[in-house]
């Protein structure tokens, strides 16, 4: 059954002054929800991620294509008086602005939140920063790897006693983009009551610190200094990836009853029967010995066989897939999460199964400049 169209932002125009990842990811979500997103880029190279390749799609990187689909590109040099005047026309005719310059830069360019409030009080304005607009690090560059380091995330990522490791995907950027969308949607809802927009600010640093909530609570409650656990969990055992004969399997027992079922599924009821292992606290205290028993058992099993056994006994289990396998899996296909765009696989948002807009390819630099500016009224026509 095909879901009905879900385009709650039809008629909403978004000016996208963002680049790299968090901002473009946020505005692409808005495009998928039906908004008309106009990506404003500097002349020349535009968003620098256009060059982050190979591989390339239509002369821009696959990276750029993945997070800028469904947008229109306009080239404006905001340091130029005529271009700034054109930007002001666009601002007066839009509903949402998203920018990710360093704090204070938009004020210097003439498109800061105070100026926008004068031009177009209806505009919801979102600023995405590295470290926020206050504090000793407000003016510092806040890229993903810097934020992971400063927030403590990197200290708990990777293998025990190993080198610091960054996430395989810039998850802080992605989560920050989603936080921006949450704030924007809430502000648009508020506007239906007040008629006025609002300035919403999110930062990568705030997102990372917020994501660390359970870890921070555990450390402050006397749990000791957290560290990296690889694929394991600091307070649940077993709960990690194990090698099998033909790959790796993730399994876990999140409660005592599931642990008993796990032992039965793997024919380990005798080996896993010591009374001190009956409760999770005891299993955590005896992590190494318990996991060795499971490792020996799985070493002689194929992944598929082990998963079938564990799932038949209602135990958490999954194959560790590579990216290509996951993107082409039956589950991703069933939910319509990945589409084939002339040989290039593109991921939709998590809302895609609800019938959100299907997005076309990312625009060429300045592809829509003439079209967009011709369609925007002069400021005199707006007042």
Domain locations along the chain: 13-211+337-382, 239-321
Structure tokens at 95: 């509903």
Q: What does the DSSP 8-state code read for residue 219?
A: I
Mean pLDDT of 144-160: 93
Tell me, what's the pLDDT at 378? Answer: 64
Domain 13-211+337-382 is found in CATH 2.40.50.250 = no
pLDDT tens figures, 304-359: 999 999 999 999 999 999 999 999 999 999 999 999 988 899 999 998 888 899 99
Please, where are the H alpha helices in 157-196? 171-194
- The backbone torsions φ and ψ at residue 44, rounded to the nearest 5 degrees and listed phi first, read 100, -105
Tell me, what's the pLDDT at 105? Answer: 92
Strand order in the sheet with 13-17: 71-75, 36-41, 13-17, 96-99, 124-129, 199-203
pLDDT tens figures, 185-236: 999 999 999 999 999 999 999 999 999 998 899 888 887 778 888 899 988 9
pLDDT tens figures, 29-66: 999 999 999 999 999 989 999 999 899 998 899 999 99
Mean pLDDT of 106-124: 94
Tell me, what's the pLDDT at 382? Answer: 46
Sole residue written with tokens 């592809």: 367
Shortest CA distance to 149 belongs to which of 100, 103, 205, 233?
205
User: What percent of the residues of the chain are helix, what percent strand, and what percent coil, each to the nearest 5?
Assistant: 45, 15, 40
- Buried b / exposed e over 167-189, threshold 16 CB at 10 Å, is beebbbbbbbbbbbbebbbebbe
- Residue 2 pLDDT grade (very low, low, confident, very high; cuts 50, 70, 90): low
What class does CATH assign to 239-321?
alpha beta
Give percent of the chain with pLDDT exceeding 90: 81
Catalytic residue among 47, 93, 173, 308: 173
Return the SS3 of 327: helix
36 is catalytic: no
Give the chain's mean pLDDT. 92
Identical topology for domains 13-211+337-382 and 239-321 = no
Residue 282: how many CB atoms within 10 A of its CB? 15
pLDDT tens figures, 125-134: 999 999 999 9
Mean pLDDT of 256-267: 97
Mean pLDDT of 238-257: 96
Tell me, what's the pLDDT at 381? Answer: 47
């Amino acid at each position: 059954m095909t879901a009905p169209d879900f385009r709650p932002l039809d008629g909403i125009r978004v000016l996208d002054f963002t680049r790299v990842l968090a901002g473009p990811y946020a505005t692409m979500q808005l495009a998928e929800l039906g908004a008309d997103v106009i990506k404003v880029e500097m002349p020349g190279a535009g968003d620098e991620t256009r060059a982050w390749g190979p591989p390339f799609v239509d002369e821009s990187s696959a990276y750029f294509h993945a997070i800028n689909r469904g947008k229109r590109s306009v080239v404006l040099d905001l340091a130029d008086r005529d271009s700034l005047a054109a930007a002001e026309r666009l601002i007066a005719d839009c509903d949402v602005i998203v920018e990710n310059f360093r704090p204070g830069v938009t004020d210097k360019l003439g498109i800061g939140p105070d100026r926008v409030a004068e031009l177009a009080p209806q505009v919801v304005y979102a600023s995405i920063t590295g470290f926020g607009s206050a504090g000793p690090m407000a003016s510092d560059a806040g890229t993903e790897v810097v934020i992971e380091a400063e927030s403590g995330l990197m200290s708990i990522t990777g293998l025990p006693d190993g080198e610091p490791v960054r996430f395989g995907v810039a998850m802080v950027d992605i989560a920050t983009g989603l936080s921006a969308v949450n704030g924007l949607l809430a502000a648009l809802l508020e506007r239906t009551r007040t008629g006025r927009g609002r300035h919403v600010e999110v930062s990568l640093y705030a997102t990372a610190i917020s994501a660390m909530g359970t870890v921070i609570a555990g450390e402050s409650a006397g749990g000791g200094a957290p560290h990296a656990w690889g694929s394991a969990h600091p307070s649940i055992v077993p709960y990690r990836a194990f090698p099998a004969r033909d790959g790796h399997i993730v399994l876990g027992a999140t409660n005592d009853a599931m642990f008993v079922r796990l032992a039965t599924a793997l024919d380990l009821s005798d080996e896993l029967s010591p009374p001190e292992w009956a409760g999770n606290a005891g299993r955590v205290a005896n992590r190494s010995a318990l996991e060795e028993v499971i490792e020996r058992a799985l070493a002689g099993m194929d992944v598929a066989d082990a998963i079938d056994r564990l799932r038949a006994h209602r135990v958490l289990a999954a194959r560790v897939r590579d990216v290509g396998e996951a993107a082409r899996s039956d589950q991703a296909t069933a939910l319509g999460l990945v589409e084939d765009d002339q040989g290039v696989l593109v991921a939709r948002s998590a809302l895609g199964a609800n019938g959100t807009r299907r997005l076309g390819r990312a625009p060429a630099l300045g592809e829509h400049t003439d079209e967009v500016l011709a369609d925007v009224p002069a400021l005199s026509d707006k007042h």
